[in-house]
Chains A and B, each alone.
Chain A
Amino acid sequence: GAVVSQHPSRVICKSGTSVKIECRSLDFQATTMFWYRQFPKQSLMLMATSNEGSKATYEQGVEKDKFLINHASLTLSTLTVTSAHPEDSSFYICSARDSKRGTLNEQFFGPGTRLTVL
C-alpha cells in the first residue's frame, strides 16, 4: 500500500516550452501532496504544498506563475513548468500523505521526474 507514481519519469524539452508532470496516489487518497526539486548532489527543496480543491502554498522564492500546481482530485496533483529554461533542469519529486492514516506526518514519495531543458 501507499504507492505514489509520477509521469513522465524523464522528459527532455526545448527552452520556452511548458512541461506537465503528474503525481498520483495509487491506493490511497491524498488531500495534501508536496512538490520538491533536487539538483545534482543536493538536498530535496520543498517547492510547494498542494491541497486538494484549493490553491497551492508556495515556499519563499518559488515563482507560482512559473510552477503551476493543480490538485483537482484526491489522487492527482500536477506540476506544470511554464516557459522552461535550462536552469529549470532538475529532478522533480512529489510526495503525498494518506488522509485516512493515523500517522499524520508520514509522506510517501514518487519515483521522481528528470527534466532536461535544452
Chain B
Amino acid sequence: GENVEQHPSTLSVQEGDSAVIKCTYSDSASNYFPWYKQELGKRPQLIIDIRSNVGEKKDQRIAVTLNKTAKHFSLHITETQPEDSAVYFCAASGGNQFYFGTGTSLTVIP
C-alpha cells in the first residue's frame, strides 16, 4: 500500500515569513496529491491540490510543487498570517483511497 511521510511535524514562523512542508510517497501509481488544513475538532478543508501531470500549482499565497521522479511534493505558504495557524496534512491517492501524511502543526507568531 501507499506510505506517505510528512515533515516537519511542527513548524513555527514569524508572521510574514514563508512556511514549507514536505511530503514523500511510495506508490508510483499515485496521481493526485491534495493538501488539507484542519483546525482543532473540525473537518479537514482542502486548500490546494495537484495532479501528476502538473509540476507546480499556485493559488494566491499557497503553492504546491510535485517531483514525480523523486516522489515528493511540497506545500509553500508565503506571507504567513496568524490565521494560517493549524494542522496541515498532505495526502496521496492513486484512485479510490486517500493516504494521509502524519501532519504538520503550523504556528504563525504575530
A residues adjacent to B (C-beta < 8 A): 32, 34, 41-46, 49, 60, 91, 93, 95, 104-107, 109-112, 114
Contacts and interface: CB of A to CB of B under 8 A. Distances in A.
Contact of B49 (A49, A104, A106, A114): A106
Contacts of A41: 105
B96 A49 contact: yes
A9 to B, nearest CB: 10
Counting chain B residues whose Cβ lies within 8 A of the other chain, the interface size class is 20 to 34
B69 interface: no
Given A105-B32, A105-B93, A34 B103 contact: no
B96 A93 contact: no
Contacts of B44: 44, 93, 109
A89 to B, nearest CB: 14
Nearest to A114: B41
Interface in B28-57: 31-32, 34, 41-46, 49
B93 A43 contact: no
Contacts of A43: 89, 100-103
Given A105-B93, A106-B34, A106-B49, A46 B43 contact: no
B96 A111 contact: no
Nearest to B49: A106
Interface of B: 1, 31-32, 34, 41-46, 49, 89, 93, 95-103, 105
Contact of A111 (B42, B93, B101, B105): B42
B68 to A, nearest CB: 16
Nearest to A45: B100
Nearest to A109: B43
A44 B100 contact: yes
A56 to B, nearest CB: 12
A79 to B, nearest CB: 16
Contacts of A32: 96
B43 A110 contact: yes
Contact of B99 (A46, A93, A110): A46
A21 B66 CA distance: 36
A107 B44 CA distance: 10
14 contacts: A34-B98, A43-B102, A44-B44, A46-B99, A49-B97, A93-B43, A105-B31, A105-B32, A106-B34, A109-B44, A109-B45, A111-B42, A112-B42, A112-B43
